[in-house]
Structure 1
Amino acid sequence: MAVPKKKISSSRRGKRRSHHALIDNMVMECPNCGAEKRPHHICPSCGYYNTKQVIELKKVEDKKE
């Protein structure tokens, strides 16, 4: 069975793990409606991408009783 020849020091282990950190998601403002969206993605609130309407979103009607 394979066994490490020498102990890995905590500093060496930390150097190896220095790139394992999570990063925040990039968020930008939609130029059409001002909502937050991911870069290079269609805006989920208006359906625009790069000042062009790509998809038509259905209007959700509020139920009034």
Structure 2
Amino acid sequence: MSTPTQKHTRSRKNIRRGALKLKTVALAECAKCKRPVRPHTACAFCGSYKGKAVAKV
């Protein structure tokens, strides 16, 4: 493996690392219990999806 021939500046290093940020979690509100849940998933607290009961909790 070869070694770098030129030094990378701090700004060039930080620009490259700028794409490594964490993404925020998308949240929606449950139609029944009004708690925050992930979109397109059943609610873990009341077991409903789009206002209908789909799982026993």
Identity %: 35
More helix by share: 2
Q: Normalising by the residue count of structure 2, what TM-score does the alignment of the two structures yield?
A: 0.79
Instruction: Please report how far the alpha carbon of residue 4 of structure 1 lies from its aligned counterpart in structure 2 after TM superposition.
Output: 0.6
**2:20 match: secondary structure:** coil
Rg bigger for which structure? 1
In structure 1, the residue matched to 2:49 is: 49
1:26 aligns with 2:29: no
Report the Cα distance in structure 1 between the residues aligned to 2:50 and 2:4, rounded to whole angstroms. 54
Q: Once superposed, what is the RMSD of the aligned Cα atoms?
A: 1.4
CA displacement, residues 11-47 of structure 1 (integer Å, 9 cap, x when unaligned): 1111111111123322221012211111121101111
Residue type of the partner of 2:47?
G
Gaps of 5+ in 2: none
Gaps of 5+ in 1: 58-65
